[in-house]
Amino acid sequence: MDLFLLCAGLMRNSKSLLLVLWMMGSACIQVPDLEPGALPDAGSQDSRPVTVSWLSPEAGNSTNGTLRVSVEVTGPTPDRVELLVDGTPVGLLSASHSLNWETWSLPEGPHVLAVRATRNSQVFTSPERTVTVDRTLPRMTSQTPANAAFLVPAGMAIHATFSEPLRASSVSTQSIQLTVDSAPFSADVSLSGDGRALTISPHTPLPVDSQVAVTIDAAVTDLAGNSMDATSRDWRWTIPSYLLVGEPLRAGSPDASLIDRASLRIGGDSRPLVAWAQHGGVHVRRWNGDAWEYLGGPLKSGATNTLAVWNSALQIDAEGRPLVAWFEYFESGISQFHARRWNGTAWESLGTFLNSSLAGGHISWMGFSSGTQQAPVVAWEEGNDSQHQFVLRQWDGSAWVAKAGPLPLVGTVTYPGFDLDAAGQPVFTFRERDSQGVNVGRVVRWNGSAWQDISAGLGGLPSARVFHPDGSLLVGVSVRVDGSWRPVIKRWNGSAWLIVGGPVDSAPSTHERTLHGIVVDAQGLLTALFIEVRTQPATSSMVGQARQWTGDRWEDVSGTLRPAPGMWKKELPSLALSPDREPIIAWIEGTDPTLGTSESALHVHRVNH
């Protein structure tokens, strides 16, 4: 039988079809392989779905430029795969189903992405995924300490916040560095969970009297890869040796606030008090723990023809009550001395005013002391055309009486000062210019009936003095040591001057240094303040440093007390000691005198720790 006819006949009987196929093997017609799920009819479409799954970017991603888009496609091969941005096609994906999408033409902000696959007339779309186009540089929105801050407390936490989250992987001790005086300083760097807050934790306390900086590298970026704004990469501040106690003190408008002298004492309540003359009155303020409060109103005599109120001085009497004294200057050239005592609610007058004891005398300096248990004593320097002298008056409870005879003076006097010993006997220290124009150091003591000059062997120029609890007199002098003027303290033992531990400063300087304040604590240990006059830089007229005598050596209390940037330390400081043996310093600070302005304020400083 013809093979074709046999096959055809059998195929007309569908029940015999499997038998024929088994017998004929490959001799019958070939049946094409079909894809799984395909229909056997010629020309039918594959109805299986195409699945599009995201590989990149991740949900919530940010970009500032080219974004890598990649998907995984499963199921029948689509005819076309394209990227939709906010519902609009922007590009076809490659055969590997990826695309480098340039975002430069899109506005900043969130955009919705989807990938659409098309096969014949069927459309398959991925889930939507939002990405943010961000070309804005991140910046600091707050800093602690503030950038360029000058009065930063030691130990202040270092924090910064940012306008947007930073990429955590970009923040490290290599990309963010802490330096002190330009040298690296070991610290930990951490970023908050939301990426917006930075904390820097030094491994050891930052030193005072130093310049601190945080440098942020360009490698620090936001989530979109934008580097930190250049204005936020440089963050620096100063940790001074001393901080202000409260606000700067002045009376009246700042543009006419000339202050020529200030006085500082610790009251019976262990809190600082300050006094200064300004705008025709004497101002006394007391620190209440939170702010400076006035003790009464401005003090003055009330005379209508007063030209100026000046040279105020503050003291504390044996009962812990504040005393204040000042001079008023008149057109006639006469100066009047006035004194008041605070009774707890108001200022009460201590007698009537005093004038120069010399006919036509002019008063150029005044000092005020109450000693340890003594009634108040005032001293002043007066002179006319023929005489020049120191005068002392003591309050006896009802009037000011002569304390000692006048101390005659010969030449021009600088750095005058006095104190009282345990018996109430005064001693003067000063520098006097002799007939040859040479400054000579003078220490003169009242022995009860006459003035005794004990200057011989002092070997320097005095500028401060104090009586030790053991009764010995201590005098701060400037002496020449290997060509430099250095501050030392010398003790009078009754017959000779003995140096206390060598120079107060730790090393010589090219600038002249002068002691201007010595205080003694209850244990008899000394705290001394020396000042240094600097001609460079021009904005630092004076600086100061306090050191303490431990019994066998001088040690730093803190670093150098400097003026604020662009300001000058003016006149001479006033030193007191807090109950915990820390120095409190009052100093007038003002604008650069070369600018021709008179703005100044009284600054009270405490140690920064």
Q: Taking 50 as the threshold, does the pLDDT of residue 16 lie above it?
A: no
Let me know if residue 233 belongs to a domain: yes
Domain identity same for 305 and 209 = no
Which has the higher per-residue pLDDT, 445 or 259?
445
pLDDT in tens, 127-183: 999 999 999 999 999 999 999 999 999 999 999 999 999 999 999 999 999 999 999
Let me know if residue 39 belongs to a domain: no
184 upstream amide cis, omega within 30 of 0:
no
Of 180, 205, 239, the one marking the end of a domain is 239
pLDDT in tens, 429-468: 999 998 888 999 999 999 999 999 999 999 999 999 999 9
Distance CA 138, CA 221 (A): 7
CATH code of 87's domain:
2.60.40.10
Let me know if residue 41 belongs to a domain: no
pLDDT in tens, 355-381: 899 988 889 899 998 665 678 999 999
Domain identity same for 572 and 545 = yes
Residue with tokens 């990426």: 195
Q: Residues 97, 103, 106, 108: is their CA dihedral positive or negative?
A: positive
Distance CA 28, CA 4 (A): 9
Distance CA 589, CA 565 (A): 11
Say if CB 547 and CB 554 are below 8 A apart. yes
- Of 515, 488, 519, the closest CA to residue 572 belongs to 515
Domain identity same for 251 and 228 = no
pLDDT at 45: 65
Domain identity same for 535 and 589 = yes
Residue type, 591: T
pTM score over 0.85: no
pLDDT in tens, 385-421: 999 999 999 999 899 999 999 999 998 999 999 999 9
Let me know if residue 110 belongs to a domain: yes
Distance CA 353, CA 345 (A): 22
Distance CA 365, CA 367 (A): 7
Which has the higher per-residue pLDDT, 44 or 526?
526
Residue type, 86: D
Domain identity same for 388 and 313 = yes
Of 89, 109, 133, the one marking the end of a domain is 133
Percent of the chain scored above 90 by pLDDT?
69
Domain that holds residue 225: 140-239
CATH code of 290's domain:
2.120.10.10
537 upstream amide cis, omega within 30 of 0:
yes
The highest-confidence range among 34-48, 226-240, 587-601, by mean pLDDT, is: 226-240
How many other C-beta atoms lie within 10 A of the C-beta of residue 166? 25
- Of 585, 581, 511, 505, the closest CA to residue 547 belongs to 505
Q: Taking 50 as the threshold, does the pLDDT of residue 14 lie above it?
A: no
Q: Taking 70 as the threshold, does the pLDDT of residue 289 lie above it?
A: yes
What is the rounded average pLDDT of the residues 498-505?
94
Residues 6+ apart with CB under 8 A from 522: 469
- Of 465, 460, 480, 459, the closest CA to residue 421 belongs to 465
How many other C-beta atoms lie within 10 A of the C-beta of residue 37? 9
pLDDT at 4: 35
What is the rounded average pLDDT of the residues 200-211?
95
Domain identity same for 229 and 124 = no
Domain identity same for 372 and 315 = yes
Domain identity same for 222 and 267 = no
pLDDT in tens, 56-104: 999 999 999 999 999 999 999 999 999 999 999 999 999 999 999 999 9
Question: In this structure, what are the phi and psi dihedrals at residue 594, rounded to the nearest 5 degrees?
Answer: -70, -15
Domain identity same for 280 and 426 = yes
Instruction: Give CA angle at 269 (264, 273), nearest 5°.
Output: 20
Say if CB 441 and CB 458 are below 8 A apart. yes
pLDDT at 251: 86
The SS3 call for residue 6 is: helix
Cα dihedral 53, 55, 59, 63, rounded to 10, equals -140
Domain identity same for 152 and 117 = no
Q: Taking 50 as the threshold, does the pLDDT of residue 23 lie above it?
A: no
Say if CB 378 and CB 366 are below 8 A apart. yes
Count up the domains in the chain and report the number.
Answer: 4
Let me know if residue 11 belongs to a domain: yes
What is the rounded average pLDDT of the residues 211-224?
95
What is the rounded average pLDDT of the residues 581-608?
86
Say if CB 478 and CB 515 are below 8 A apart. yes
Of 88, 113, 133, the one marking the end of a domain is 133
pLDDT at 372: 57
Domain identity same for 419 and 513 = yes
pLDDT at 594: 67
